[in-house]
Structure 1
Amino acid sequence: MSKNKKRIIWIIIILAVAAGGYFYFSGKKTTTEYTTAEVVRGNLPQTVSATGTINPDRKYELAFKATGKVIEMNVDVGDAVSKGQRLAKIDEGTLLSQLRQAEAEVKFQKNTLDNMKRQKSTYTKNQVDAQRARVLGAQAGVDVIRDQIEDTIIYSPIDGIVLKRFANVGDTTFVNAARSTSILTVASRGNLVIESNIPESDITKIGLGKKATVTFDALTSDDTYKAEISEIDPDSTVIQDVVYYGIKLKITDIDSRFMPGMSANIDIRTAEQENVILVPLRAVQTEGNQKIVEILNSDGVGVTKVKIETGLEGDEGMVEVRSGLKEGQKVVTFTKNL
């Protein structure tokens, strides 16, 4: 058999197989399987969830204003302190000798002024005024040194508790243009707040006074507490390329087991609709500016598109439907062609 005849036979076979496949598949009917959800009526909450840390409402990082060696450390972590209590001290260095010299200068300038006053005929008014200025200048020098000596001592600014201690007796503290070395952290004992960061996608949903439910990792899941947003930071913070806003929540249920630094799980109730029509959000489609859903026909074979008006998007993937649906209808959430 010639090569051309063989080639013609193979072409005929291929065409026959293709034609047979076409007629087979074109004659086969396609069926569609629908996954549906029932339209229900109920309450729809909207919640913003976040994590945070429990902290005292007032916390102070205490540092010396001068470089020096620590010669007193009168408190430790956990100690209660009272406002004005002396907590720590560094050595004065040469400040005491500078003070004696400055005080001697004040005494000398005052004596000079007194002599000038006793010899009024010898000195002009301008000379006496100039000497008064020297006295004031010398006294100002004394005041500066006394303030520097006072800065070698740290006092507690509040009644509270010592949270952290960063130095011991014998350590040297340093001060530079950027910051001072923190020596102690002191916090108030009474009111506690929860500090958290809310992403910009959720910050518009919350506001001052919004209520929250809080649990703590250190306690059981049955231990739930109520809190209220008391502060929203207007300045943003970028964390891993996401914009966040800091908030503070005041805890209304105080528990003696609360400790600064505990991790908190926060659910903020931002909105709620009661007794409304609900469908899964995944059932809602958008065509142009219109929201639609597909309703399964009563025969279970086909679907009908229905225009709807949606409202609040709430928790667990549910959305409020204000018009277009009624309770008991079945909306399509997933379509599969078989």
Structure 2
Amino acid sequence: MEKLENLAAKIRQNFSSAFTKFKNLSLKKKIVVIVIALIVIAILFKGVSDATKEPGYTLAKVEIGSVDEIVSETGNIATTNRTDIYSPSNGVITQMYVANGEGVLKNQLLFEVESSATVQEKRAAESNYLAAVSALNSARSTQDTLQADMFSKWQTFQDTATSSEFENSDGTPRYDQRAQSEFHIAEKNWLAAEKKFQDQKTAIAQAQANVSSTKLLLDATKDAKVLATAEGIVENVSVGTGSGVKINQVLAPVRPVMTIVSTSPTEVTVELGESDIVKVKPGQEVVLDVSAVDDREYQGRVVRVDSVGTDEAGVIRYSVYIEVLDADQNLRPGMSADCDIKTKSLEGVLIVPNSAVKPYQGGRAVRVVNPRTKEIEFIPVKIGVRGISHTQILSGVEEGQEVVTALSNESIERPSLF
């Protein structure tokens, strides 16, 4: 009893001393001490609350329903359904017959161009073209001469190599004799003639390219009527009547006068790996989410599946082509699209939410709450098709049984707060 009284007296003394020190502090320091004390009290209160709080569960019932197996991949809207139209002449557009959004047929007249070339420019362009044609014809004539010489040298070498001096009666080479200069001279003459003939092929290709470029420049000095090269919808008209236009060249590219977008079905191409491609077949339904188009999903259908893959850094990928069934003007070539391909659909099967299925001892299991101990227990299950939101259960649990899909506060051991 005396010890308790002494302890109480000591506590009162310490408290009185601390209170006196607190009273002597400045206002700013008093505020800091009070804030620290409140934080400590809050931490202690939360720790006690969490330590005593009962685990919370989110439960779902095992039920009979439907499940769709989905293969998901991101692809791009095909860019092959557009044709850029350029002016074949340097000049001024005198007539424009189409506008954005109009449909055109192949070979339909689109616009007319009047050349701005002078008489001297036209003559120079024609002279350059004729010179290029002459050079090409000369190169082809030279090639014929070189080819004849190559065949002649080949025959000389063949006759030398198969003579009795350099070949045995059974057709095998006489290597000891073939070391003579006569044999090597015939061989090298043939090889040199063959090289000249092959080099002339390169010269002809260059001459042909020169003819094409000078013909392009010659046409650029002439008036032109430009026809549609494909059927489709006119888009991106960049000029109008009276506008100046130039031809498109590799070293001096220009903007197209217009673009014709094909009216053929819009397609999306995706690349799938070996494990997914075996599930995908033509005719399967697809849901497409185009990131550039908000609040809209598109419906599609698989139309083609590659049977031969492409090696990409050691990984074999297969192309799948998806037709967009409800395409609209918002879709543009090159846009990315997330594609969910429905590869299998099951009705009237036992299902649980995907979040209920967990890895367990090398297999799969669902978690349940033991009604007596309120503890989590794992029940091994065999699963079938896994869909976007639900998984098919083949065995392990029954319809109506409740499984855990999430834990809000797992029951774990916590260290003492004191």
TM bin (shorter chain): 0.5 to 0.7
Q: Deviations over 1:268-314 (max 9, x none)?
A: 42332333221122222223423222223354834432112223221
Contact 2:385 2:392 in 1 (8 A): yes
User: What is the deviation of 1:85?
Assistant: 3.3
5+ long unaligned stretches in structure 1: 14-24, 107-139, 236-244
Q: Deviations over 1:234-260 (max 9, x none)?
A: 89xxxxxxxxx9975335579xxx547
Structure 2 residue 222 is the aligned partner of structure 1 residue 161? no
Contact 1:56 1:260 in 2 (8 A): no
1:79-228 to structure 2, matched below 5 A, reads: 79-88=102-111, 89=113, 91=115, 93=117, 96-98=122-124, 101=127, 146-150=215-219, 153=224, 154-168=226-240, 169-173=242-246, 175-177=249-251, 179-189=253-263, 191-195=264-268, 208-212=282-286, 227-228=300-301
Contact 1:214 1:265 in 2 (8 A): yes
Q: Deviations over 1:104-141 (max 9, x none)?
A: 999xxxxxxxxxxxxxxxxxxxxxxxxxxxxxxxxx99
After superposition, the Cα gap between the structure-2 partners of 1:188 and 1:290, relative to the gap in structure 1 and judged at 3 Å, is closer
Q: Secondary structure at the match of 2:230?
A: coil
Query: Which residue matches 1:131?
Result: none
- The more displaced of 288-297 and 86-95 is 86-95
After superposition, the Cα gap between the structure-2 partners of 1:274 and 1:301, relative to the gap in structure 1 and judged at 3 Å, is same
Q: Deviations over 1:71-107 (max 9, x none)?
A: 345232233433223434362625532366579999x
1:30 and 1:163 map into 2 onto residues whose CA distance is 65
TM-score of the aligned structures, taking structure 1 as reference length: 0.57
Larger proportion of helix: 2
Query: Which residue matches 1:61?
Result: 84
2:230 and 2:80 map into 1 onto residues whose CA distance is 12
1:232 and 1:167 map into 2 onto residues whose CA distance is 41
Larger proportion of strand: 1
Structure 2 residue 343 is the aligned partner of structure 1 residue 320? no
TM-score of the aligned structures, taking structure 2 as reference length: 0.48
Query: Which residue matches 1:283?
Result: 356
How many aligned positions are there?
272
Larger Rg: 2
User: What is the deviation of 1:185?
Assistant: 0.4
5+ long unaligned stretches in structure 2: 1-5, 15-47, 133-208, 311-317, 412-418
Q: Deviations over 1:208-233 (max 9, x none)?
A: 54223579999x98xx9853133679
After superposition, the Cα gap between the structure-2 partners of 1:301 and 1:79, relative to the gap in structure 1 and judged at 3 Å, is closer
2:393 and 2:256 map into 1 onto residues whose CA distance is 56
Query: What letter is aligned with 2:286?
Result: A
Contact 2:129 2:214 in 1 (8 A): no
Structure 2 residue 336 is the aligned partner of structure 1 residue 271? no
User: What is the deviation of 1:165?
Assistant: 0.5
Q: Secondary structure at the match of 1:77?
A: coil
Structure 2 residue 105 is the aligned partner of structure 1 residue 76? no
Contact 2:268 2:324 in 1 (8 A): no
